[in-house]
A and B are shown apart, each in its own frame.
Chain A
């Protein structure tokens, strides 16, 4: 049996937790047993229902007021009890700071092996092989874990695609697990999460991005693209010149001196496509470019290109989405 630890924050399932579910589904497809997902936190029933839609055998709800906010003592104590009760063969963690913080302790408590930062799995003669890079990525090793189960494993972010999660034919049963957890046993006293800047946006988490470049000509025209972003449910990003002039904050900059993003959909509006920008977004699944210069390098990476005036094209797109 595979046990997946699913993290959430404020009632929203963490995207990389879905990646962990997908990894588990691939293991299950190779015959390594049914999947149980444990959703951990405080008031997580909503997330549990969401997970139950996926193709898993069971969803365990580990709901305790002392699990919010995250502490390593709280998580280790709670998960130890779940692992003992369920006796899984493999415990899969998502790629998060919390995993980095508590997975090693949890594995040590059980005197079992932890294989971190895997990028895939393979079927071996004596069970599953975990694939992970070594020596700063110079080698890729296939790890076969010997010794008694459970084995603990974490997968690197983006090793599996969150949107590839298989849906179940029926909703999986949900079960609440009871644990004993005394607040007095938790030694850590977390402070408010650190944020470097106010309203920092994490563009790497966005599924859709509308990015704007110099073609917008002036700050006063930004609403043109902001309306399109709103209609698409997308984040607004920009190329360097826009953020450098202060028209948009620096945390919205995509490119070599900004963020690197890989959303499902990336709309480049009035962006010529200097290589410094391309390196930050060429991993996007679908790239749509709007530019009036047919020779702009952005069209070399775009899946769909519209040669035209953004002030005509973008409002038309927004209007079409509104219908």
Chain B
């Protein structure tokens, strides 16, 4: 379930295993909610090719679009007016041997490899629910099509279909809706740390071709974030004057008035960034959440008849800012575990524990375990986090309390009246929107290419909208209007008096980033997949 790096790698590995063995061929299918391969995928992205080297050793000959090798690594600390370059690049952020890529283009290519290996990749199909028989996962049900706003069938109505499988591999991405039901049904996160998330937004810019060396990788810390906020900016130079410019912020900020999109505009207005972008043009926009919790936040990934991989599980190295290679590797492990389990005729949880063994004995643990406490240390602020990051390199991740305690990010958001004398919002005064360097959210959304049929039920379920206009307005001033990077949530004047507002959900703006599902302080927003095919149309992202 899910045609991203994890799901496609699993499918491709399965075909390879099948070829090495004379068993009756398996039927393998990948379901993807985007209308086209890769259309819902974006990332920075810097790719560590280690998993790709194993999955497709001849990727160069097969024309993999790994745009440019990393030529240069730089890290800056920004203040409002200045920049300070880190004298050395810490080892986890050294990218020698890696590639600056467009994930979306890479996945288009990977999907072609998977299809030419004989796997059907069905795009435009979302998984609406997991099918169970007793305690066993037996497949998924795809979403209905052609349902109107009120839930009535339209003239083009087509009910979802049940797809049964011996093993279902869930690669439905960060905070995946299917994985979410698995975690709660099987209590897969018992005795684990709560997952911590960040959300990243990114623009693709076309700038004069000699502005930045292709392959340059720039990371920033500091401004416009305050020291208790996790995150930073990135600028990756692709070829042909194309710049990937983005900003990531932890979804564990305290200030309810914080707005990542606004912070990103301030970042772009910093003289360091605005000089790089001057004379250029913003051509694409997108957003995505990231699972940052690391080793101790991984749920149990094997259930009877099912496996969870990629971002859905949380295979991401937040210290190296990389997850694509781990997603691919987890997919390859899942393929091996599933293939062996099917061969033995036993697809129970016990049999699929093989996946955990592979994770523990292989590259994934080797990479994630030593940095197991790093992300959690940043919850004590930037300086504590940086100190611990350096310390952990020496100690292999040891700390007095291991695991270092953590809280779910949405629990940290503070009420407006208790934030006290600290300034609210990401900066002083509003950011000027000139639609050249800075943009409003709605204009940005246009550049994501997102599209949903307007006449369908909303796919953002808010259990109790009374909370929005009463408690939430008082306590947090409706942070959904800020943490959503796509202007999905709006509080509209009812006209019944000053400050009387009502929630309006512009579901068709949604970028499928899941920030709302994650960050809502009352946890009453449920993201479910819209009609298959709906969503952003990323190109080159």
Whether A217 pairs with B155 at a CB distance below 8 angstroms is no
B465 to chain A, nearest CB (A): 14
> Can you list, as one digit per residue, whether each of B451-468 has a CB less than 8 Å from chain A (1) or not (0)?
110110000000000000
Any A CB within 8 A of the CB of B504:
yes
CA distance A218 to B495 in the complex (A): 9
Residue of B nearest to A194 (CB): B155
CA distance A258 to B504 in the complex (A): 19
Instruction: Count residues of chain A with CB under 8 A from any CB of chain B.
Output: 18
Any B CB within 8 A of the CB of A243:
yes
Any B CB within 8 A of the CB of A323:
no
> Can you list, as one digit per residue, whether each of B481-509 has a CB less than 8 Å from chain A (1) or not (0)?
00000000000000100000000101010
Whether B454 pairs with A243 at a CB distance below 8 angstroms is yes
Whether A274 pairs with B508 at a CB distance below 8 angstroms is no
Whether A250 pairs with B455 at a CB distance below 8 angstroms is yes
Q: Which residues of A contact B455 (CB under 8 A)?
A: 250
Any A CB within 8 A of the CB of B269:
no
CA distance A250 to B435 in the complex (A): 29
CA distance A241 to B504 in the complex (A): 10
Any A CB within 8 A of the CB of B152:
no
Any B CB within 8 A of the CB of A245:
yes
Whether B446 pairs with A244 at a CB distance below 8 angstroms is no
Whether A217 pairs with B435 at a CB distance below 8 angstroms is no
CA distance A256 to B447 in the complex (A): 12
Whether B508 pairs with A257 at a CB distance below 8 angstroms is yes
Q: Which residues of A contact B80 (CB under 8 A)?
A: none
CA distance A253 to B451 in the complex (A): 15
Whether A244 pairs with B454 at a CB distance below 8 angstroms is yes
Whether B435 pairs with A276 at a CB distance below 8 angstroms is no
Residue of B nearest to A243 (CB): B454
Q: How many CB-defined contacts (below 8 Å) exist between A and B?
A: 33
Any B CB within 8 A of the CB of A297:
yes
Any B CB within 8 A of the CB of A196:
yes
Residue of B nearest to A279 (CB): B446
B103 to chain A, nearest CB (A): 25
Among B442, B495, B506, the residue within 8 A (CB) of A244 is B506
Any B CB within 8 A of the CB of A307:
no
Whether B454 pairs with A253 at a CB distance below 8 angstroms is yes
Any B CB within 8 A of the CB of A158:
no
Q: Which of B435, B446, B452, B504 has the most CB of A within 10 A?
A: B446
A110 to chain B, nearest CB (A): 38
Q: Which residues of A contact B443 (CB under 8 A)?
A: 274-275
CA distance A241 to B445 in the complex (A): 15
CA distance A244 to B149 in the complex (A): 10
Whether A256 pairs with B446 at a CB distance below 8 angstroms is yes
Q: Which residues of A contact B495 (CB under 8 A)?
A: 217-218
Whether A276 pairs with B454 at a CB distance below 8 angstroms is no
Among A218, A250, A275, the residue within 8 A (CB) of B454 is A250
Whether B442 pairs with A196 at a CB distance below 8 angstroms is no
> Can you list, as one digit per residue, whether each of A268-298 has a CB less than 8 Å from chain B (1) or not (0)?
0000001110010000000000000000010
A199 to chain B, nearest CB (A): 15
Q: Which residues of B contact A257 (CB under 8 A)?
A: 451-452, 454, 508
Residue of A nearest to B154 (CB): A196
What would 14 more interface pairs be, CB under 8 Å, given A217-B495, A253-B454, A257-B454? Answer: A243-B454, A244-B506, A245-B504, A250-B454, A250-B455, A256-B451, A257-B452, A274-B442, A274-B446, A275-B442, A275-B443, A276-B445, A276-B446, A297-B435
User: Which 3 pairs show the lowest CB-CB distances between chains A and B?
Assistant: A275-B446, A274-B442, A275-B443
| 21 sampled A-B residue pairs with Cβ under 8 A | A218-B495, A240-B506, A240-B508, A241-B504, A243-B454, A244-B504, A244-B506, A245-B504, A253-B454, A256-B446, A256-B451, A257-B452, A257-B454, A258-B454, A274-B442, A274-B446, A275-B442, A275-B443, A276-B442, A276-B446, A297-B435
